Each structure stands twice: as C-alpha cells, then as structure tokens.
Amino acid sequence: MHLRIPFTPYRAGSRKLMADFDCDTFRDIKANCKVEVKPNLGEYITKLKLCVGRNNTEHRTDEISVNRLMLRRGQRFQLTFFTTRQVRPDTDTVLLTVEIGPSPSESKGTHSVFGFPWHLGGKGRWKVELVESCSSSFTMGITSPADACVGSYKLSIRLGSENAIPRQLTNLVLLFNPWCAEDWVYLPQEAERQEYVMAEQGIIYTGTRHYIGARDWNYGQFEEDMVDICMKLLDMNPKCFRDAAEDFSARCNPIYVARVVSAMINSNGDNGILVGLWQPPYSGGVAPTHWDGSVDILQRWYTSNFSPVKYGQCWVFAAVMCTVLRCLGIPCRVVTNFQSAHDTDKSLTIDKYYSDNGLQPKESHDSVWNFHVWVEGWMKRPDLCGDSTYDGWQVLDPTPQEKSAGVFCCGPCPVKAVLEGHTDLKYDIPFVFSEVNADQVNWIVQSNDSKERLHSDSSQIGQNISTKAVGADRREDITACYKYPEVSKKERLVFEEAVRRGNEHKPRPELSLKPT
C-alpha cells in the first residue's frame, strides 16, 4: 500500500528556454552580446562567438543556462572566430589555454594548451580540429578529455606567438558526461539517463515495510544557481582547504567527487549543508517533514555565508545529495531500505544482551530503523579490480551515522560487492552489508561476563528495498540487487563470506584512481 504525500512543485523563478534561439547565426542581441561575442582580440581576429545556444543544447545543459558555456567532458564543442582574412592553420598561431584551480599544471590535468599550428597546439590533452574556414571566419571544434577535471575553467587565447600575452576569453563549466562511453559515469541506456540525470522531479519512499508511503520531491538540479552552488560545495570541502591543487586535480574522478559530496551534505565536522535532528522540537529551523525539494535548502546554505541549514533526516540528506550529483552529471537515484540495521561495530549482527534473569545488563548501540534512505551513484570502480566486476551502482550515504576514515560519510560502496559479501573492499561495505543483511542476535551474559547466543533471526533486516521506476511514478523493488533470497543457501553462504572477509581485515591492493 502506498500513501502519496501532497506536493506543490517548487519554482525558483522563471527559466523560460530560448527555443527560438538561432545558434548558427550571429545575432547582436544586447542581452547575449557579453557572452556570445568577444570583440577586438587583436591581430586578424576581430570577434569570437561562443555558440552557447548550440553547444549547451548538444551537451544537454541548455536547461542549466542559455548564457554561459556549460559543457560535458569528452564531447566536442565549437567556437567561431571572425577574422579579417582567411586563417592558415599551418603558419598562423592561435593557441587556446584552459586552466582550473590554483597553481594549474599539465601534470595534474588542470592546465592544457591546444590550437595551431599543430606542432605547438596538437599535443595537449584537449583536442582541437578546424571545422570550417573561410575568408571572414573559422570554426574550431574542441574536445575535452573524458577524464578532465570537472569545474569552472578559464579559457584564454594567444595570437601570433606561443610567447604572446594570453587574453582571457571566457569561463566555461565542465561536467561529468553519462553520454560519453569513455567517461567513468557512462550510462548506456537513454531512458535511464533521462531518469537519473535529467529528471528534476522524483519520489522518495518512507514509512514501514507494511505501509510504504511515497513522498514527491523536487530535485531541481537545473534551477538557478545550482551549478554554482555545487561547485562551491566542492570548494568548501576540508580536503580542498588542506591542498587545493590536489583537490582540483582529483575532481577528474567521480569516486573522489562522490565521496566528498557525501561528507559535505551533512554539517558534521565541516561547512556542510544540513544539520540532522531526529526528534522535535525543531526550534530555529524547519522540521524535516516540511521540506519538499532541495533547491530551497541549497540556496539557503549558499546565501547565508555557508551556514548549515536546519534540519534534515535521512531522506532529506539523500535527496539533496541526489540533486548535487545529478547537477554535476553523475547518474543518481534515491533508495529506501525498510527494516534498516545500524551496526556500530562491524560485527554484521544487531546484538541485544540479557542476563539470566531477563534484564539487559549491557547496553547495545546497534539499532534497527523502520526505514533508512541513501542514494546510489553510477560509476566505474577500476580502483578495486582490473575488470568491470564492481562497476555500476554505488551506495553513498550522506546521513551522519558512523565515521569513515575519520569523516562522516559513506561510500561509494559497490552494490555488487554487497550482494556477494565482499566486505574487504572500499568503501564502507561492512556497514552497508549490515544495513540490508545483518543477523539479529540475542545474547545471555553470564555472571563472569561470558556470553552465549540465545536466539538469532536472519530474515528480518533489509526489506522492500525501493526506488522510483524509470520513466514511471511507481515503486521498483531492488532488494535482489543487494542480497539473495532470505534463508536461502546462497544467502547464508554470502553471509559467511562477508564475516570471513571482514575478520581478515586485509583490503585488496588498489589500482590507481587516475582514469586512463
């Protein structure tokens, strides 16, 4: 049974798309002149057309902006230069430079030079080709690497000589690209890309395993300021403060970015977005049940000098993280686990202790929640093995429960590793495995503090694991992605494997996190 909670879509102002914007013809419109055309570049180049309308449409970012270059990595975009004569790519020097972050360098992937003549500009990791040339203009096709760092780049030009003073042309934003087969976040099915990247509305399931409620949510990842807010969130993470150059360089990697976002959604130990509170009163803030979208939360954080927003619970944390990942271009879906265990000691059991007279002499910090909500992000995991075994959906949980490597975050944890009980891998697999498949165990504690197993139940934890179906407002049960049928022989073998691997405490050697 589903209970639908009423929802009024949030609108952060008009975002009327310029459907009639002619991006193939130069139009000197006052509102767009500052971004469409850069005049007086010197030498024989008089103007630059950024082709924002055409580029953003082709990169599926026109819902984000029609005024700024919003691009997806690994995909070509075009710039048109207006000239006083025909360009000669073998002899004329036109060199473009892209830079991101502090102290940009080619070795860190935060600096690249490209253009022509080819012996000067053809060796950069950003690739360029001459698409069209005539007596009054030429068009360059530029392709960023499929593993380029995501974020805001400065684009500049040098004319006449490689030693010429560069002139800044514009800023461009580069996002992950689920449409690019070489990108680690590549998602093959278009219907899934529309659901997990482009859809701004969704459904989150709450309640109990017997009475499942459906809460509508406005993710709003393409609303005003969302890209800037998401980039600022990355800039505010503690790793960036400790070593900004390394942090910007690591933003090529969706594994790294997703883990950073998981930590930054909660405010525990950093300048994160949400304060968690699990019982009233909710004084000085908004009750978690009153939120119906992410946009208001993210804008409050952004406009309040990055003060944490009060208050959130698991579904709010997860929904805001879904907004951020979809905005950055990482496919994401919100997942609800009913009868969700919270195992505090990585024992893979939820323990209760009793004395021989029936009292509870020892308090347990383990617990079982009616439901818990996290997200899954789609990405490759070549850091775990040399093949695609652990690629695909990764659990990411921004609700502050337990620390992971000293930080309140969780994941990315391969769902396939949870299914097979591979608890010796990164990140946080024992914790997630327990959430969906822990055994509940009652113990008798003797007077000498020894304990004896009284009763165990292996079938109650992890019920009706749910997410919104692709292209439909209905619940999809994905329990089988996380575990084999309860009390089956295979499920018990996997549990034993999880215990064995967890007890060994010997993580497998990892490969380089740098995409190739």
- pLDDT grade, residue 180 (50/70/90)? very high
Last residue of a domain, one of 133, 150, 175: 175
| 511 domain residue, yes or no | no
Domain that holds residue 83: 10-175
Least confident of 21-35, 268-282, 341-355, 386-400: 21-35
Last residue of a domain, one of 149, 175, 201: 175
Indicate if 20 and 73 belong to the same structural domain: yes
* Count of other CB atoms within 10 angstroms of residue 403: 14
pLDDT given for residue 485 in this prediction = 94
Bridge partner list, 202? 217
| 5 domain residue, yes or no | no
Q: For residue 401, how far is the Cα from the chain centroid? A: 20
Average pLDDT value for residue range 11-24: 33
Indicate if 120 and 249 belong to the same structural domain: no
Phi, psi of 261 (to 5 degrees): -60, -40
Place of tokens 């500052």: 34
CB-based burial label for 487 (10 Å; 0-12, 13-18, 19+): exposed
| 500 domain residue, yes or no | yes
Q: What Å distances lie between residue 417 and 369, 384, 414, 507, CA to CA?
A: 23, 10, 5, 13
Q: Which CATH number characterizes residue 88's domain?
A: 2.60.40.10
Question: What percent of the chain is modeled with pLDDT above 70?
Answer: 86
Domain count, the chain: 2
Last residue of a domain, one of 126, 141, 175: 175
Q: In whole angstroms, give the CA distance from residue 302 to residue 455.
A: 51
Indicate if 124 and 196 belong to the same structural domain: no
DSSP 8-class letter at 334? E
Structure confidence by residue, pLDDT tens digits, 92-130: 888 999 999 999 999 999 999 998 876 655 556 899 999
pLDDT given for residue 281 in this prediction = 96
- Which among 397, 424, 428, 439 is annotated as catalytic? 397
Six-digit token string for 165: 């003073």
| 515 domain residue, yes or no | no
| 101 domain residue, yes or no | yes
Q: Is the pLDDT of residue 492 over 60?
A: yes
Average pLDDT value for residue range 455-472: 92
Helix, strand, or coil here: 303? Answer: helix
- pLDDT grade, residue 205 (50/70/90)? very high
Whether residue 412 is preceded by a cis peptide bond, meaning omega within 30 degrees of 0, is yes
Closest CA to 450 of 334, 325, 361: 361
Indicate if 485 and 336 belong to the same structural domain: yes
Structure confidence by residue, pLDDT tens digits, 497-513: 999 998 876 444 444 44
Indicate if 162 and 269 belong to the same structural domain: no
Indicate if 162 and 201 belong to the same structural domain: no
Question: Is 372 a catalytic site residue?
Answer: yes
- Across 237-255, b (16+ Cβ under 10 Å) vs e yields bebbeeeeeebbbbbbbbb
Average pLDDT value for residue range 126-154: 94
Higher pLDDT, 175 or 36: 175
Assess contact for 182 and 114: CB atoms under 8 A: no
Q: In whole angstroms, give the CA distance from residue 113 to residue 95.
A: 7
- Which among 23, 59, 240, 372 is annotated as catalytic? 372
Q: Which CATH number characterizes residue 320's domain?
A: 3.90.260.10
| 243 domain residue, yes or no | yes
Average pLDDT value for residue range 462-486: 97
Indicate if 156 and 218 belong to the same structural domain: no
DSSP conformation letters of 430-477: HHHHHHHHPEEEEEEEPTTS-EEEEEEESSSSSEEEEEEPTTSSSEEE
Structure confidence by residue, pLDDT tens digits, 41-64: 556 788 889 999 999 999 999 999
Question: Is 33 a catalytic site residue?
Answer: no
Indicate if 200 and 132 belong to the same structural domain: no
- Across 343-353, b (16+ Cβ under 10 Å) vs e yields beebbbbbbbb
Question: Is 314 a catalytic site residue?
Answer: yes
| 87 domain residue, yes or no | yes
Indicate if 318 and 225 belong to the same structural domain: yes
Average pLDDT value for residue range 68-77: 98
Indicate if 157 and 281 belong to the same structural domain: no
SS (H, E, C) 476-512: EECHHHHCCCCCCHHHHHHHHHHHHHHHHCCCCCCCC
Place of tokens 């080619």: 106
Indicate if 230 and 101 belong to the same structural domain: no
Indicate if 238 and 157 belong to the same structural domain: no
SS (H, E, C) 71-136: EECCCEEEEEEEECCCCCCCCCCEEEEEECCCCCCCCCCCEEEEEECHHHHCCCCCEEEEEEECCC
Quick one: angle between helices 226-235 and 254-265, nearest 10? 90
pLDDT given for residue 359 in this prediction = 62
pLDDT given for residue 160 in this prediction = 77
* Count of other CB atoms within 10 angstroms of residue 57: 18
* Cα angle value 9/12/16 (rounded, 5°): 95
DSSP 8-class letter at 290? G
pLDDT given for residue 17 in this prediction = 31
| 135 domain residue, yes or no | yes
Quick one: angle between helices 295-303 and 226-235, nearest 10? 60
